[in-house]
Structure 1
Amino acid sequence: MNIGIIGAGYIGSALAVRLTSLGHSVYIANSRGPETLKDVEQKTGATAVTAEEAAQRGSDFIVVTIPLEKIPDLPNNLFEGVAPAVPIIDTSNYYPLLRDGQIPELETGDLTESGWVQQHLGRPVVKVFNNIFAEHLEKNGQPAGTPGRIGLPVASDDTAAKQKVMALVEELGFDAVDGGTMRESWRQQPGGPIYCNDLPANQVKEHLAQLGTERTPEQHAEFLANQNAAEKHMEAQGIKLK
């Protein structure tokens, strides 16, 4: 397959390594230009291109994996000419303290993180790969049926795109779990029980069921408080996201 990745950070690079190892053609871009990605090309086997080229060449999948704060900086015509059937994967997470600043719609809970991304991109997106560490994404995939195989939730309003992405998740070595609609994707966001805990599929499904589908104000406040505490802990450890 031909897969475009916009964003050459931890998740983008991890995906590039795995996808090229499976025989796919991967085109990877960052905000500084392909000439700055020689090391990434060497490490991943992907071809460095511009963001526009990654979108055009990713005829099977396009992955957007950049900091949330940078989403509005993407070109307005980035997906012009891209077929509607091409799934656009969003991996973003909201880190208001360490990176993104406060985004009003996410603070109030009016939108999920990927719902906000979807509005900016003007195209339906599929939320996945946001709740697993990059190193685990690259190295911890297992054959289907392996006990304890990590389950990854996949959320989207586009049912056909979601099914294609779930098949890709399985190919990468993880159990794909239907995470519902974009409105329900809050359940896999930071601050919740599914975030970066490498749970098997049955436990992911249990947490999805326990959380329900409609986010309550109390749940939104709890997730934000948990994420705030996690970011402060990261800050105390000297971890920087910028």
Structure 2
Amino acid sequence: MSTSQPPSIATLGVIGAGRIGRAIASLGRDAGLEVVVAASREPEAFRSLVEREAPGARAVRLADAVRSDAVVLAVPLSRLRSLPPAAFEGSLVIDAMNYWWELDGHLPQFEDPLTTSSELVQRHLAGARVVKTLNHLSAYALEELARPAGEPDRIALAIAGDRAEDVSAVMALVDALGFDPVEAGPLAEGLRFEPSTELFGADADAAEAREMLARFWDSQRGRVVARARTSAGE
């Protein structure tokens, strides 16, 4: 996949061997990155699956995956507490997770309109540097819709993070993976591309994605959040 700027991220760890994790691993290999995949199971249990669907990627233990330049979290959000914070100390962590009560069960902390799922990820992995992206496209889009830079039908991925250098590195990675990066602001702005937002699940180009992000507060979800935050005095 050709890119306008080489990513500073040369090694990519993916935590999660499900469909989303495997799709991201495959994109990373297509971009020429060294990719490793970890899961809750021992590597031997999913090695053949990774090798088949992301040729060149390696199945490893979590301790090996977190040594990568960036680590993608692609597991159910309900498993967040099973991730040991000490293992991620100093890591650049890309949060590709979403809260689904149907899958995760009702978890009140992730239903609180005063915060966002990624802020809670950052709180749990306090020593990591968390950037939100790769969460609002479908598995199909990740598998089938990546395009080289400059292609007219290239779609966008929004990115939110608190540290400019980390956001810049992740934007270059997203570009290398085959999508147009759109900066959404600090990590709290991940709110604008979580589930129940206009951008979530939309195969939008960069201009459309920026428009969707801009009109979030006029959406039903945006109004619900705004009312809750006003009531809380924020």
Letter in 2 for 1:196: G
Confirm whether residue 152 of structure 1 aligns to residue 157 of structure 2: yes
Confirm whether residue 100 of structure 1 aligns to residue 104 of structure 2: yes
- Give the corresponding residue for 2:230: none
Q: State the distance in 2 between where 1:160 and 1:207 align.
A: 25
**Deviation of residue 125 (structure 1)?**
0.6
- Give the corresponding residue for 1:174: 179
- Contact kept? 1:40, 1:46, Cα under 8 Å: no
**Deviation of residue 33 (structure 1)?**
1.2
Confirm whether residue 87 of structure 1 aligns to residue 92 of structure 2: yes
**Deviation of residue 145 (structure 1)?**
2.0
- Give the corresponding residue for 1:18: 27
**Deviation of residue 9 (structure 1)?**
1.0
Letter in 2 for 1:190: P
Confirm whether residue 61 of structure 1 aligns to residue 70 of structure 2: yes
Confirm whether residue 6 of structure 1 aligns to residue 15 of structure 2: yes
What RMSD over aligned residues (CA atoms) do the two structures have, in Å? 2.1
- Give the corresponding residue for 2:193: 188
> CA offsets, 1:196-234, max 9 Å, x none?
111111011011111259x98733399xxxxxxxxxxxx
Confirm whether residue 46 of structure 1 aligns to residue 53 of structure 2: no
> CA offsets, 1:128-179, max 9 Å, x none?
0100112211221112222231011000112111110001111111110001
Confirm whether residue 117 of structure 1 aligns to residue 121 of structure 2: yes
- Contact kept? 1:87, 1:165, Cα under 8 Å: no
Q: State the distance in 2 between where 1:183 and 1:33 align.
A: 34
- Give the corresponding residue for 2:86: 77
- Contact kept? 2:22, 2:50, Cα under 8 Å: no
Q: Aligned with 1:199: secondary structure? A: coil
Confirm whether residue 133 of structure 1 aligns to residue 163 of structure 2: no
Letter in 2 for 1:119: R
Structure 1 gaps, min length 5: 223-242
Q: Aligned with 1:35: secondary structure? A: helix
Higher relative contact order (CA 8 A, sep 6+): 2
- Give the corresponding residue for 2:212: 207
- Give the corresponding residue for 2:4: none
Q: Aligned with 2:111: secondary structure? A: helix
Q: State the distance in 1 between where 2:150 and 2:123 align.
A: 37
Q: Aligned with 1:179: secondary structure? A: strand
**Deviation of residue 5 (structure 1)?**
1.0
Q: State the distance in 2 between where 1:41 and 1:35 align.
A: 10
**Deviation of residue 105 (structure 1)?**
2.6
Q: State the distance in 2 between where 1:105 and 1:205 align.
A: 28
Letter in 2 for 1:11: I
Letter in 2 for 1:14: A
Letter in 1 for 2:77: L
Q: Aligned with 1:184: secondary structure? A: helix
Q: Aligned with 1:155: secondary structure? A: strand
